[in-house]
């Protein structure tokens, strides 16, 4: 993931890195100028007063410009990286088969789009500090070598000792940060439960206490504890490095100092440079954990996107323009059922649909009705058997075109802010006509291709979803327990007005329902139990249909 981002921003990255490196070089030159001015005698300062002053001013201005350019470019890189990263993840989600999307889980995807992406983007904000301070530290060491190579070797030993200690602590800190990232993925799932289950939590105090204290509370505490451990280890290692720096300064001043002619200049130079190095080195040690956090976050994003392979369902077949018949032939589908701790198998299913036909799918809870609907609309390609459209099998590269036949209102439907159908001039008028038909014209309207509000009851929002399905004008409509949230008036409207109108329009309609008082309005009734059709589908009269159910 990091390599991908660096490749996408190679030009800006090169310019920003060059500005950061120049900023570090100018900082070293500045401290050299300061040391030279402090250790030179009055006569030499008087003789060369103009040149060092102008050199100092020029270096200071160049340092300011380079830091400004570096910081601005890396800030731009960070925002661009965040946008690129989120777009990449979103594209992976959009192109991933639905069954695979469900296995990955929305909580992990939300974590990747928010926390993990932000941690990767922060890396680009930290890079100018890291590059500049690295150049400063290396440049200062080079300057120290010019002053006294013996003391320089001792300085290298001190820095090496600090580096070894930092590395050992660093490995343990990374372990804690990785564990914190894994726990955070679970935490996002608990956050969703906190909002989606708001009604249930308020109705059950004990359930609310257990969830808040033992589930959500422990997860929040787990992320806090693991991150605190990891970052605390980095702080300890940083403090260790600072202690070694000051210890070295003390050794230079009080132990290693000799009586040579240039010893004052050497001692002053070493003390001054080491004091100057403390802040860049501290900044370097503080920002290195951000690199590691970015690596951990990028690794988590890699893991998630690797489970969502792009291009798995590339559209290569043409869109279907003429729907004549849909047939499921010996279709099977299997998935893990948590309640029974076993695999649930749907099928083999033999079923067909034709335009202008209303089919009711009935059965007990957990019988596989919604799963069958997802197989019918192509969200779950069958594990066995085949789906035939107009007599031709749907091939692996044709599922996306196949899915464009359907408009679906699932029981857990989602309403987008705008009507995302193909724009047309009469979209608002047609939408408002349908809203009036469903008695919603006083609560919401369609303006500029969007609903004016969605702050409605669940049943009213389902009526909005029905309007969307109408406006999509697809040849096959599927309703999953649409009437379950409606009052008797709108149940009557749905079964006696909406469905007959769709039939007259030549639409194929599949309705998942428990409303047995309306069973006689279906052209066919299909009963599903434990994933199996109880009897072959039949096109029969009203009395026979009722008898078959009884």
Over the stretch 333-371, which tens digit does the pLDDT of each residue have?
Answer: 987 665 555 678 897 999 999 999 999 999 988 888 999
Question: Looking at domain 2-306, which CATH architecture does it have?
Answer: Up-down Bundle (1.20)
> Across residues 425-440, what is the average pLDDT?
86
How many C-beta atoms surround the C-beta of residue 236 within 10 A? 14
Q: At what angle do helices 10-39 and 50-95 cross, to 10 degrees?
A: 150
Residue 374 contacts residue 398 (beta carbons within 8 Å): no
Tokens linked to 290: 């951000």
Q: Is it the case that residue 486 has pLDDT exceeding 60? A: yes
Tokens linked to 228: 């605190």
Give the model confidence (pLDDT) of 289-302 as tens digits. Answer: 777 778 888 888 88
Cα–Cα dist 359/132, whole Å: 70
How many C-beta atoms surround the C-beta of residue 176 within 10 A? 19
End-to-end, the C-alpha distance of the chain in Å comes to 59
Categorize the per-residue pLDDT at 390 as very low, low, confident or very high, splitting at 50, 70 and 90.
very high
The pLDDT, as a whole number, for residue 538 is 43
Backbone angles phi, psi at 476, to 5 degrees: -130, 125
Cα–Cα dist 372/349, whole Å: 9
Element holding 334 (H helix, E strand): strand 326-337
Give the model confidence (pLDDT) of 233-245 as tens digits. Answer: 877 777 776 677 7
Instruction: Look at the pTM and tell me if it is higher than 0.85.
Output: no
The pLDDT, as a whole number, for residue 550 is 28
Categorize the per-residue pLDDT at 145 as very low, low, confident or very high, splitting at 50, 70 and 90.
confident
Q: Is it the case that residue 310 has pLDDT exceeding 60? A: no
Q: At what angle do helices 263-306 and 117-147 cross, to 10 degrees?
A: 160
> Across residues 134-155, what is the average pLDDT?
78
Cα–Cα dist 548/440, whole Å: 38
Of the two residues 298 and 288, the one the predictor is more confident about is 298
Distances (CA, A) of 158 to 87, 241, 288: 46, 9, 19
Cα–Cα dist 384/403, whole Å: 19
DSSP label at 484?
A: G
The pLDDT, as a whole number, for residue 84 is 83
The pLDDT, as a whole number, for residue 414 is 84
Of the two residues 491 and 30, the one the predictor is more confident about is 491
Give the model confidence (pLDDT) of 440-480 as tens digits. Answer: 888 999 888 888 888 888 888 899 999 989 888 899 999 99
Give the model confidence (pLDDT) of 83-118 as tens digits. Answer: 888 888 888 888 888 888 888 888 788 888 888 888
Cα–Cα dist 395/314, whole Å: 12
Categorize the per-residue pLDDT at 147 as very low, low, confident or very high, splitting at 50, 70 and 90.
confident
Compute the C-alpha angle 292/298/303, nearest 5°.
130
Q: Percentage of residues in the chain with pLDDT exceeding 70?
A: 85
Categorize the per-residue pLDDT at 373 as very low, low, confident or very high, splitting at 50, 70 and 90.
very high
Q: Which of 507, 506, 511 is nearest to 525 (CA)?
A: 511
The pLDDT, as a whole number, for residue 41 is 58
Q: Where in the chain is the domain with CATH 3.40.50.300?
A: 326-549
* Arithmetic mean of pLDDT over the chain: 80
Q: Where in the chain is the domain with CATH 1.20.1560.10?
A: 2-306
Compute the C-alpha angle 532/395/409, nearest 5°.
55
Backbone angles phi, psi at 378, to 5 degrees: 90, 5
The pLDDT, as a whole number, for residue 366 is 83
> Across residues 145-150, what is the average pLDDT?
76
- 326-549, CATH topology level: Rossmann fold (3.40.50)
- The most confident of the ranges 13-17, 244-248, 409-413 is 409-413
């Amino acid at each position: 993931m990091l390599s991908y981002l660096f490749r996408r921003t190679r030009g800006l990255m090169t310019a920003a890195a060059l500005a950061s490196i120049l900023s570090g070089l100018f900082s070293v030159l500045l401290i050299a100028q300061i040391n030279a001015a402090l250790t030179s005698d009055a006569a030499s300062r008087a003789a060369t007063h103009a040149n060092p002053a102008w050199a100092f001013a020029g270096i200071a201005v160049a340092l300011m410009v380079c830091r400004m350019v570096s910081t601005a470019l890396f800030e731009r890189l960070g925002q661009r990286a965040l946008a690129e990263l989120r777009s990449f993840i979103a594209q992976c989600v959009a192109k991933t088969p639905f069954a695979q999307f469900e296995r990955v889980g929305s909580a992990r995807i939300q974590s990747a789009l928010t926390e993990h992406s932000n941690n990767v983007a922060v890396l680009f904000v930290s890079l100018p500090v890291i590059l500049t301070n690295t150049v400063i530290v290396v440049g200062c060491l080079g300057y120290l070598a010019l002053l006294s190579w013996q003391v320089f070797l001792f300085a290298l030993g001190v820095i090496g000792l600090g580096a070894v200690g930092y590395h050992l602590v660093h490995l343990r800190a990374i372990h804690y940060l990785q564990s914190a990232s894994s726990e955070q993925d679970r935490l996002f799932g608990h956050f969703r439960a906190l909002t989606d289950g708001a009604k249930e939590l308020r109705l059950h105090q004990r359930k609310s206490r257990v969830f808040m204290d033992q589930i959500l509370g422990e997860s929040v505490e787990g992320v806090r504890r693991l991150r605190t451990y990891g970052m605390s280890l980095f702080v300890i290692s940083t403090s260790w490095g600072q202690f070694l720096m000051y210890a070295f300064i003390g050794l230079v001043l009080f132990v290693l100092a000799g009586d040579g002619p240039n010893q004052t200049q050497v001692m002053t130079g070493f003390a001054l440079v080491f004091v100057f190095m403390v802040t860049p080195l501290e900044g370097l040690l503080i920002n290195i954990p951000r690199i590691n956090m970015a690596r951990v976050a990028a690794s988590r994003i890699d893991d998630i996107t690797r489970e969502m392979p792009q291009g798995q369902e590339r559209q290569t077949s043409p869109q279907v323009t003429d729907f004549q018949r849909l047939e499921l032939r010996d279709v099977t589908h299997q998935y893990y059922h948590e309640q029974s701790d076993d695999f649930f198998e749907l099928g083999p299913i033999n079923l067909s649909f034709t335009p202008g036909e209303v089919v009711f799918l009935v059965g007990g809870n957990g019988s596989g009705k919604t799963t069958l609907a997802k197989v019918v609309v192509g969200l779950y390609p069958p594990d066995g058997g085949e789906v035939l459209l107009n007599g031709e099998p749907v091939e692996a590269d044709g599922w996306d075109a196949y899915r464009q036949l359907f408009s679906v209102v699932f029981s857990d439907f989602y309403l987008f802010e705008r009507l995302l159908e193909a724009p047309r001039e009469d979209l608002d008028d047609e939408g408002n006509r349908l809203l009036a038909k469903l008695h919603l014209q006083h609560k919401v309207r369609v303006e500029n291709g969007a609903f004016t509000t969605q702050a409605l009851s669940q049943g009213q929002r389902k009526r909005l979803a029905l309007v969307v399905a109408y406006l999509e004008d697809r040849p096959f409509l599927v309703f999953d327990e649409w009437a379950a949230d409606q009052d008797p008036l709108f149940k009557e409207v749905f079964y006696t007005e909406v469905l007959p109108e769709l039939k007259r329009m030549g639409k194929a309609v599949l309705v998942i329902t428990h409303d047995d008082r309306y069973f006689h309005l279906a052209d066919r009734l299909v009963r599903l139990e434990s994933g199996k059709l109880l009897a072959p589908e039949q096109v029969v009269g009203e009395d026979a249909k009722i008898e078959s159910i009884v």
